[in-house]
Chains A and B, each alone.
Chain A
């Protein structure tokens, strides 16, 4: 089955700096890669996703890059703000056929210091 590794487990940055979180996956059949943000005591919420036919996707201060050959994908947050502080999870899925389940990484606790 799919295995997703996520690094780092914790990340502390100063407000205004950039943050990068990296994930690797094992199943070459995976083709959908979402990133979820989870604030303390709240539900995971999708912040950005990418499919395997795209190498990069941006949404304002957030971007995701995907390298299918190397089986890794990364989340980039620019101009970080204190409200970006949360746990971020990457995930992978085959995103089609009969297999839509998400396999998650263990998460990265991002702290943005004012």
Chain B
């Protein structure tokens, strides 16, 4: 499968625990995005990378959230001291600067449940 992959697909954690999610973009896609989607809502932008540089982070994003893309390939999203309000689907997407269509390809998501 050459699409965007995410791991794990599901995560159940207790409030206060830290969690980390991984995203593997389509090979050679240099842009990578993280979005969060809650039930009945559209995806909400969290942050985005061009290669290894984090170029934008949502002002709504708590300091408990951090993302990295150390070698410009896969990315991780960490949530520290999880809260029940963090329960959501976390979606990763990638796109290519060489692809003038601007299309973002989404992964299957990681569903986080905080109990």
Binding site for B on A (CB under 8 A): 4, 6, 32, 34, 36, 42-46, 49, 51, 89, 91, 93, 95, 98-107
With A43-B91, A49-B101 as known contacts, state yes or no: A91 contacts B42, CB within 8 Å. Answer: yes
Counting chain A CB atoms within 10 Å of each CB, the highest count among B55, B103, B106 belongs to B106
Name 22 interchain pairs, CB-CB below 8 A, sorted by A: A4-B42, A32-B102, A34-B102, A43-B4, A43-B91, A46-B103, A46-B104, A46-B105, A49-B103, A51-B102, A89-B43, A93-B102, A98-B55, A98-B56, A100-B48, A100-B104, A101-B56, A102-B33, A102-B35, A102-B104, A103-B45, A105-B42
Residue of B nearest to A103 (CB): B45
CB pair A104 B40 closer than 8 Å: no
Q: How far is the CA of A51 from the CA of B44 in the complex (A)?
A: 21
Q: How far is the CA of A43 from the CA of B91 in the complex (A)?
A: 8
The answer to whether B95 has its CB under 8 Å from any CB of chain A is yes
CB pair B107 A43 closer than 8 Å: yes
Q: How large is the interface on B (under 10, 10 to 19, 20 to 34, 35 or more residues)?
A: 20 to 34
Distance in angstroms from A45 CB to nearest chain B CB is 7
Partner of B40, one of A44, A46, A102, A106: A106
Counting chain A CB atoms within 10 Å of each CB, the highest count among B33, B44, B102 belongs to B102
Known: A100-B95, A101-B45; 12 extra A-B contacts, CB below 8 A, are A6-B42, A34-B102, A36-B106, A43-B4, A43-B109, A91-B42, A98-B55, A100-B33, A101-B33, A101-B48, A102-B45, A102-B104
